[in-house]
Structures are given as C-alpha cells and as structure tokens.
C-alpha cells in the first residue's frame, strides 16, 4: 500500500531530520518525517553546541527553549597529567561569536524540536523503517518501508545517521568502517570532584600513558559532570544488538574498571571523579569511519548530517555541522522554489535544482573539510611534546563560528 505523495520526505527524526522539517516549515515547504524507532527517542548522553549551530537554532526559534535547559560555557581547557594548563579552545563566546557554547542532553533537545514540529502541524510517523527505493520518475520517487508499505515524494532526504540506508541508494557497496575506538562515558555529581569552584571545566587532562580524561559539566546548573576516556577495542565490531548487550547494566562493570584504570597517574580530580560511578548514565560511543563522498545527491535523493559525513569528535563539530547542512539545504530549496515560480516549466526547474544542490554539497563539503583540518591541528597539539616550543597560539575560529549562512545560501542557489 502506497501512502499519498508528500513534497519532501525526511527519513530519520533525529537532530538533523527534526531540524530540517522546522527549517523547511519556516519557508512554508511541507515535509513528512519517518522514523524507524518508537517515540520518544531517548538516546543517551549530552552534546555540545557551538555558536554556528546556536545561530541556526535561534533563527528557527529553538534556542529560547533550549537555553534554560543546558550548561553554558566558553572554553575547553587542556591540562597536563600534573594539572598544569597546556592550552584552551574556544567553544563559544557571547562577546566574540554571539553565543556561549551550550551543553545539553540530547533527549531534551529532541523533545523541544519534536514539540515544535508537532505544533507546526508537520506529519511524523514512528516505527517506519526506510528499506529501499523502488521507483524513480522525473516527477517523484517511491520507496519501501521494512513493514511492506511504501510512500512517494518529490524529494527523499536521508537524515538517517551514520548507518544510513538511504545512502545505500547512492553507494550500494559502502559500509561504515568501525575504527576500533569507542568513547566510554559516565555521569557523576560535580560535588564528587572535590575541586575548588573555579577549577576550569570542561577540561581534558592529558596523560602520556593513558591518553585523555574528559570532565564536562552538564545540566543547567552544572551539578552533574560527564567523565570519559577513549578505548581501543581489541575484538571485532558489534552490530546494534551487540552494542546494546554491552550497554546492559549487568555488562557495564568493565566500563567502570576502564574509567578507573590509571587514575593514580592523573591529578586527584580524576581519582575523585571515578570514586563512585553509577551504572545508570554510562554510555558508549563507537567511532565509525565513512570515506569522503563524491556526491550527496542523485536524482531525487539527498543525504545530509551523519549520513553524508562522519566527523570524528575532536573539535566537537559532528552535530553542529549537521545543523549547518539542514539549514542551508532548506534555504537553497526555498530559493530555488522562488526562482522556479518564474521559470519555464518542470524540466528547467529540475535542472536548476540539480545545479543548486551540487553547489550546496560542494560548499558544505568544503566546510566539513576545514573542520577535519581543524581536528588534525587539534590532535597535533595534544601530542605530549606539542607545547615544548613555547606558547601555543590561540586558534582563529571566526570562519567556523562567525559564518554568514544567508550569504552562502544566496551563492549556492544562484
Ligand atoms: C554517544 C554519542 C555522543 C555524541 N556526542 C557528540 C557531541 O558532544 N558533539 C557532537 O557534535 N556530536 C556528538 N555525537 C555525534 C552526533 O550525535 C551526530 O553527529 C548527530 O547525532 C548526527 O545527527 P543525525 O540526525 O544526522 O543522525 P542521528 O542522530 O544518527 O539520527 C538518525 C535518525 O534516523 C533514524 N533512522 C536510522 N535509520 C533509519 C531508517 N532506515 N528509517 C527511518 N529512520 C531511520 C535513527 O533512528 C535516528 O533517529 C555523539 C554521538 C554519540 C553516539
């Protein structure tokens, strides 16, 4: 059974999908969301939003609702194993970039986005897993869901994450590669750190033997902190069931052991942080690699967010770049629609849209590439002898946080 055609179908109601639906709605472009999981989506952990994404969320009316729910901060500090400052990295600044950075639980952000999507009357269907495209014509595209039903739209957008099935339509043989690295994190009360109140947080403490230990406040009042380390796994990767099994409470004690390992070689704040680790709040983040893709669009299919680019966590830009994708994509589609109203028919409009989406993809990829370069620079500065040459120059991050999206949209849609 095929459901009626919608102008734009969005596969995945995660952060990219929900925000895309709102961004399209702001231009009066209707869309329908399809999400494979049941509602509500309560995928663990908090994320860090930087000014480039916060500007977008502000324009869409989301920021005012999330600002009271998260922890505001400006810098990530880096310290040595004997607790000396090494470096810091601007994650936001009201004076320089218009917004402080915001650390917010993912479910809180999703709840706000979802209630705004519902208030806007945007249709969203849960337990609807996209399977594969079944037909494409010059006018529309039809696909099957895993439950045997199908649907049709003018444009199909894959916002379905790093393991995207929509991407399979563009790259049938591509499978994300597990890097063998996972982030192991937990949540503990801030008071447990027993540091003076002005100890710089969030902080990454670097140990030559044990790598980096991260401590980052969360909750609006900063009363809770994430603690975390990265681990290289010796065994094979897991499928989703395998990861879920590793996340069962009775299987999580290895995470506590791992977080505690080597704490005596860090400053006392780390031993305090790991002294009592509740099982609830432990999270795993397996890192996958997706090669740079030549194209994010083909015919009536587009991919964006993690489906289009997997960005390693170093500069904390994964989700922030996903917001940039969706906002600029909606802007380009809206501009094309305006221009097509004065154009000479559907074929002309389709060619123009193809050209505009190609420019959008190349422009977006160029920014993603710059973020990847920034990740590399940051990684080099975390090497044990990086600070020996003397003072580390602060990064100029105006290109990242001070970006003018409206200018980019106008250029890509021209
Ligand atoms: C534990 C963890 C911590 C992280 N922390 C940070 C951080 O601090 N900062 C940061 O920038 N990034 C962080 N990331 C990365 C960040 O979460 C991603 O960049 C971001 O979620 C990408 O959003 P997305 O909407 O594109 O994809 P996703 O968030 O993966 O959403 C995809 C959605 O599509 C749905 N879906 C998948 N397949 C289908 C299908 N076939 N049919 C229908 N629906 C489908 C999924 O259920 C999901 O809801 C973290 C990731 C993890 C796992």
User: Do 32 and 150 sit in the same domain of this protein?
Assistant: yes
Task: Yes or no: say if 160 and 166 are a contact pair by the CB < 8 Å rule.
Answer: yes
Question: Across residues 37-64, what is the average pLDDT?
Answer: 93
User: Do 259 and 339 sit in the same domain of this protein?
Assistant: no
Burial class for 140, CB neighbours closer than 10 Å (0-12, 13-18, 19+): middle
Ligand 1, atom 29: closest residue by C-alpha:
14
For the Cβ of 160 lying below 6 angstroms from any atom of ligand 1, the answer is yes
Task: Yes or no: say if 31 and 8 are a contact pair by the CB < 8 Å rule.
Answer: yes
Q: How many angstroms does the Cα of residue 17 sit away from the middle of ligand 1? A: 10
Burial class for 106, CB neighbours closer than 10 Å (0-12, 13-18, 19+): middle
Q: How many angstroms does the Cα of residue 37 sit away from the middle of ligand 1? A: 12
Total number of domains constituting the chain: 2
User: Do 170 and 183 sit in the same domain of this protein?
Assistant: no
Q: What percent of the chain has pLDDT over 90?
A: 73
Residue 244 has pLDDT above 90, yes or no: no
Residue 198 has pLDDT above 60, yes or no: yes
User: Do 280 and 205 sit in the same domain of this protein?
Assistant: yes
For the Cβ of 217 lying below 6 angstroms from any atom of ligand 1, the answer is no
Q: How many angstroms does the Cα of residue 354 sit away from the middle of ligand 1? A: 27
Alpha-carbon gap, residue 13 to 18, rounded angstroms: 5
Q: What percent of the chain has pLDDT over 70?
A: 93
Ligand 1, atom 1: closest residue by C-alpha:
285
Q: How far is CA 211 from CA 32, 260, 263, in A?
A: 44, 13, 11
Q: Where a domain ends, among 289, 323, 351?
A: 289
Asked, for residue 82, whether it belongs to a domain, the answer is no
Residue 381 has pLDDT above 80, yes or no: no
How many whole angstroms from its chain centre is CA 248?
A: 24
Tokens of 282: 């432990």
Radius of gyration, CA atoms only, the chain: 22
Confidence of residue 213 (pLDDT cuts 50, 70, 90): very high
Asked, for residue 219, whether it belongs to a domain, the answer is yes
Tell me the per-residue pLDDT of 17-41, one tens digit each, with 9 for 90 and over. Answer: 999 999 999 999 999 999 999 987 7
**Which of 38-42, 231-235, 337-341, 384-388 has the weakest average pLDDT?**
384-388
User: Do 285 and 295 sit in the same domain of this protein?
Assistant: no
How high is the mean pLDDT of the chain? 91
Ligand 1, atom 16: closest residue by C-alpha:
319
pLDDT at residue 388, rounded to an integer: 55
Task: Yes or no: say if 336 and 352 are a contact pair by the CB < 8 Å rule.
Answer: yes
Task: Yes or no: say if 143 and 158 are a contact pair by the CB < 8 Å rule.
Answer: no
Segment holding 351, helix H or strand E? helix 346-381
Q: For 121, which DSSP code?
A: T
Q: Which of 311, 322, 333 is nearest to 156 (CA)?
A: 333
Question: Across residues 369-386, what is the average pLDDT?
Answer: 82
Q: Where a domain ends, among 272, 289, 306?
A: 289
Q: How many angstroms does the Cα of residue 72 sit away from the middle of ligand 1? A: 22
Asked, for residue 87, whether it belongs to a domain, the answer is no
User: Do 310 and 162 sit in the same domain of this protein?
Assistant: yes
User: Do 251 and 354 sit in the same domain of this protein?
Assistant: no
User: Do 163 and 274 sit in the same domain of this protein?
Assistant: no
Q: How many angstroms does the Cα of residue 201 sit away from the middle of ligand 1? A: 25
How many whole angstroms from its chain centre is CA 305?
A: 7
User: Do 283 and 150 sit in the same domain of this protein?
Assistant: no
Question: Across residues 372-385, what is the average pLDDT?
Answer: 81
pLDDT at residue 402, rounded to an integer: 95
Residue 302 has pLDDT above 60, yes or no: yes
For the Cβ of 14 lying below 6 angstroms from any atom of ligand 1, the answer is yes
Query: 3-state SS of 289-343?
Result: ECCCCCCCEECCEEECHHHCCCCCCCCCCHHHHHHHHHHHHHHHHHHHHHHHHCC
pLDDT at residue 168, rounded to an integer: 97
Alpha-carbon gap, residue 410 to 414, rounded angstroms: 6
Asked, for residue 230, whether it belongs to a domain, the answer is yes
Asked, for residue 43, whether it belongs to a domain, the answer is yes
Task: Yes or no: say if 208 and 384 are a contact pair by the CB < 8 Å rule.
Answer: yes
Alpha-carbon gap, residue 114 to 38, rounded angstroms: 13
Asked, for residue 80, whether it belongs to a domain, the answer is no
Q: Which has more pLDDT, 350 or 328? A: 328
Asked, for residue 31, whether it belongs to a domain, the answer is yes
Alpha-carbon gap, residue 384 to 206, rounded angstroms: 8
For the Cβ of 36 lying below 6 angstroms from any atom of ligand 1, the answer is yes
Structural domain of residue 328, as residue ranges?
2-70+105-176+290-413
- First-to-last alpha carbon distance for the chain, in angstroms, is 39
Q: Where a domain ends, among 256, 289, 322?
A: 289
Tell me the per-residue pLDDT of 329-367, one tens digit each, with 9 for 90 and over. Answer: 999 999 998 887 765 556 567 778 899 999 999 999 999
Question: Across residues 162-189, what is the average pLDDT?
Answer: 94
Asked, for residue 131, whether it belongs to a domain, the answer is yes
**Which of 52-66, 95-109, 152-166, 247-261 has the weakest average pLDDT?**
247-261
User: Do 137 and 284 sit in the same domain of this protein?
Assistant: no
Hey, how many other C-beta atoms are within 10 angstroms of the C-beta on 1? 6
Ligand 1 nearest atom to the CA of residue 304, by list position: 26
User: Do 51 and 163 sit in the same domain of this protein?
Assistant: yes
pLDDT at residue 25, rounded to an integer: 98
**CATH number assigned to the domain comprising residue 326:** 3.50.50.60
Task: Yes or no: say if 47 and 78 are a contact pair by the CB < 8 Å rule.
Answer: no
Cα torsion 310, 316, 317, 323 to 10°: value is 100
pLDDT at residue 301, rounded to an integer: 96
User: Do 311 and 396 sit in the same domain of this protein?
Assistant: yes
């Amino acid at each position: 059974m095929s459901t009626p055609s919608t102008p734009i179908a969005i596969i995945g109601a995660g952060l990219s999908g929900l925000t895309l639906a709102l961004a399209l709605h702001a231009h009066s472009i209707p869309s329908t969301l399809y999400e494979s999981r049941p509602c509500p989506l309560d995928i663990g952990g908090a994320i860090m939003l930087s000014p480039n994404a916060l500007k977008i969320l502000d324009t869409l009316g989301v920021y005012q609702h999330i600002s009271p729910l998260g922890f505001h901060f400006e810098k990530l500090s880096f310290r040595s194993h004997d607790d000396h400052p090494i470096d810091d990295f601007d994650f936001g600044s009201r004076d320089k970039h218009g917004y402080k950075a915001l650390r917010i639980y993912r479910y809180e952000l999703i709840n706000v986005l979802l209630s705004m999507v519902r208030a806007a009357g945007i249709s969203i269907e849960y337990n609807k897993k996209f399977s594969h495209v079944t037909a494409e014509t010059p006018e529309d595209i039809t696909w099957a869901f895993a439950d045997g039903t199908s649907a049709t739209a003018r444009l199909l957008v894959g916002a379905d994450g790093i393991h995207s099935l929509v991407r399979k339509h563009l790259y049938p043989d591509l499978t994300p590669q597990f890097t063998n690295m996972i982030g192991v994190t937990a949540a503990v009360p801030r008071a447990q750190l027993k540091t003076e109140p002005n100890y710089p947080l969030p902080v990454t403490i670097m140990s030559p033997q044990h790598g980096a230990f991260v401590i980052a406040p969360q909750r609006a009042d900063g009363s809770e902190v994430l603690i975390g380390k990265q681990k290289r796994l010796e065994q094979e990767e897991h499928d989703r069931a395998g990861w879920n099994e590793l996340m069962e409470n009775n299987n999580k004690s290895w995470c506590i052991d791992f977080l505690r390992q080597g704490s005596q070689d860090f400053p006392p704040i780390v031993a305090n942080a790991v002294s009592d680790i509740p099982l609830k709040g432990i999270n795993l983040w397996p890192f996958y690699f997706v090669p740079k893709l030549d194209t994010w669009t083909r015919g009536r299919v587009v991919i964006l967010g993690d489906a289009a680019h997997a960005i390693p966590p170093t500069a904390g830009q994964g989700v922030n770049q996903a917001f940039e994708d969706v906002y600029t994509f909606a802007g380009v589609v809206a501009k094309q629609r305006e221009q097509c109203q004065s154009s000479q028919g559907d074929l002309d409009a389709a060619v123009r849209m193809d050209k505009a989406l190609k420019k959008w993809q190349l422009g977006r990829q160029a920014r993603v590439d710059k973020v990847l370069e920034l990740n590399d620079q940051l990684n080099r500065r975390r090497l044990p002898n990086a600070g020996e040459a003397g003072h580390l120059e602060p990064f100029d991050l105006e290109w990242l946080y001070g970006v003018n999206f409206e200018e980019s949209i106008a250029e890509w849609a021209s």
